[in-house]
Chains A and B, each alone.
Chain A
């Protein structure tokens, strides 16, 4: 009988500079990269004035503008307005999108019946409806919530629907054979199965929803980050404009990170085939 022979040998540990690089490596490089860009930008625009700082403010100007709107509380108010409306609109879109998507996905007849409407709305570039929404619902929170909901609902709906359509029929049959009720089947088979699709839809929904909130606030709003940008630009204050844009950038990425974190808790078994 051939005894097991050891086949693993330890590797010599590399000197410490390489060890640091291996551990932190590219993250460090990224951080350096960002800092370098900011410094370069400041140099080229702020110090050397290669372009008119009115047209393209240096980081220092953006920084002071940011301080100004934060300390005066203006930023806080508008963030609250925008975020509140975004969250409400997105929540509506998620509930409606998942509910209708699942129904359509699992019932071919309903899907056929509803699909003309779904597809009409899906094909409509919903941003174009923004002026009408302001017309109907006014300048307040309602039109923004409606805009976000409209923009976010379709990516969610369509993706959930396809997920429902792709549920493995054998799994459903197995469940029924063991006497599972309709509700049970939904909870224990359909929902987990469609989770990856739902998550894709939710991610897309965030992107579209953000577009919705911004365009809504551009067209007609009493408050919000979009309005801040509009006002700042109309006063040629590009520094404030960029400051708010940065806030939007952070918000957008934060939502994605939150979504991913939520997914990791709810569905740790799911490994997204991301790029």
Chain B
């Protein structure tokens, strides 16, 4: 578990063919407390994935910095583990092998078989240790992805729209399970999504982002009681209020984004 401090972060991408620099994130200031579950919502292109990549250490900021537990973020490593939208499992490895993969990338890290089995039980994959990804359903594959991230006991869990590829019902089931797993392991989580419902159901706080260049429009506290998987959170009166608030903020940004996409396409 760790604190994340993001200070005046600006990230730019070079578009060589068009001889231009694209500002993906601009002047982001965000503090995530120890053990907090923060969700970022915004239109496509608002820089959500860029922010996750920056925290993970995959892209370097043009300005500003990111601190995890007061130390600047460096090269990527299993201390900031990422769960992918497209699972990104090695198709030639079994569940067991895939879970070990993240830790293998760091040569000085080892995990015992017991630890692997524990995390398999935790994500609910007991019995599927020797299955290959193509034998698993989407939800199960994502559990493997989650297990892979958790096995290294990361300080921060980064989740890049992990449930976007799942059907609606599996998605809700996974949201509930995720809450349970996080409660059991108490990690700091930074989660990005398109779905306002998902953000409210999962997050302690919601960061609403603007259209490109991504800035923070507003941060909203989610005061719905936990554990949320034990009741139908969507029927809670507070849910609708929060939803309306977030949607009002996002609606304008979505329009701006649509215009941008059109202009980009014409360029």
- Direct A–B touching, Cβ under 8 Å: yes
- The distance from the CB of A37 to the nearest CB of chain B, in whole angstroms, is 31
Contact assessment for B21 and A11 in the assembled complex, using a CB-CB cutoff below 8 Å:
yes
Contact assessment for B14 and A2 in the assembled complex, using a CB-CB cutoff below 8 Å:
no
Name 23 interchain pairs, CB-CB below 8 A, sorted by A. Answer: A1-B252, A2-B211, A2-B217, A2-B253, A2-B256, A3-B256, A4-B211, A4-B256, A4-B260, A5-B26, A5-B210, A5-B215, A7-B22, A7-B26, A7-B260, A8-B15, A8-B21, A8-B22, A10-B21, A11-B14, A11-B15, A11-B16, A11-B21
Q: Which bracket fits the contact residues of A?
A: 10 to 19
B: residues with CB less than 8 A from A are 12, 14-16, 19-24, 26, 210-213, 215, 217, 252-253, 256, 259-260
What A residues does B23 contact at CB under 8 A? 7-9
| Closest 10 pairs (CB-CB, A-B) | A7-B213, A9-B21, A7-B23, A7-B212, A8-B20, A1-B252, A11-B19, A4-B256, A2-B252, A11-B21
- The distance from the CB of B86 to the nearest CB of chain A, in whole angstroms, is 19
**A71 CB within 8 Å of chain B:** no
Q: What is the bound-complex CA distance between A13 and B212, given in angstroms?
A: 24
What A residues does B24 contact at CB under 8 A? 7
Residue from A2, A3, A7, A10 in contact with B19 in the complex, judged by beta carbons closer than 8 Å: A10
Contact assessment for B217 and A5 in the assembled complex, using a CB-CB cutoff below 8 Å:
no
Having A5-B210, A13-B19, one finds 4 other A-B pairs with CB under 8 Å, namely: A5-B26, A8-B20, A8-B21, A8-B22
What B residues does A10 contact at CB under 8 A? 19-21
- The distance from the CB of A3 to the nearest CB of chain B, in whole angstroms, is 8
Interface residues of A in 1-57 (CB under 8 A from B): 1-5, 7-11, 13, 22
Known: A11-B20, A11-B21. A4 touches B259 (CB 8 A): yes
What A residues does B252 contact at CB under 8 A? 1-2
Q: What is the bound-complex CA distance between A4 and B252, given in angstroms?
A: 10
Residue of B nearest to A13 (CB): B19
- The distance from the CB of B10 to the nearest CB of chain A, in whole angstroms, is 11
Residue of A nearest to B215 (CB): A5
A113-139 vs B, CB cutoff 8 Å, 1 = contact: the mask equals 000000000000000000000000000
Q: What is the bound-complex CA distance between A269 and B217, given in angstroms?
A: 42
What B residues does A5 contact at CB under 8 A? 26, 210, 213, 215
Interface residues of A in 146-201 (CB under 8 A from B): none
Residue of B nearest to A4 (CB): B256
Q: What is the bound-complex CA distance between A10 and B22, given in angstroms?
A: 9
Residue of A nearest to B260 (CB): A4
What A residues does B210 contact at CB under 8 A? 2, 5
What A residues does B22 contact at CB under 8 A? 7-9
- The distance from the CB of B40 to the nearest CB of chain A, in whole angstroms, is 16
What A residues does B213 contact at CB under 8 A? 5, 7
Q: Which of A5, A7, A9 has the most CB of B within 10 A?
A: A7
- The distance from the CB of A4 to the nearest CB of chain B, in whole angstroms, is 5
Q: What is the bound-complex CA distance between A22 and B19, given in angstroms?
A: 12
Residue of B nearest to A12 (CB): B19
- The distance from the CB of A108 to the nearest CB of chain B, in whole angstroms, is 29
Residue of A nearest to B210 (CB): A2
Q: What is the bound-complex CA distance between A46 and B212, given in angstroms?
A: 63
Q: What is the bound-complex CA distance between A112 and B22, given in angstroms?
A: 57
Q: What is the bound-complex CA distance between A9 and B12, given in angstroms?
A: 9
- The distance from the CB of A30 to the nearest CB of chain B, in whole angstroms, is 21
- The distance from the CB of A10 to the nearest CB of chain B, in whole angstroms, is 6
Contact assessment for B19 and A9 in the assembled complex, using a CB-CB cutoff below 8 Å:
no
- The distance from the CB of A2 to the nearest CB of chain B, in whole angstroms, is 5
What A residues does B15 contact at CB under 8 A? 8, 11
- The distance from the CB of A6 to the nearest CB of chain B, in whole angstroms, is 8
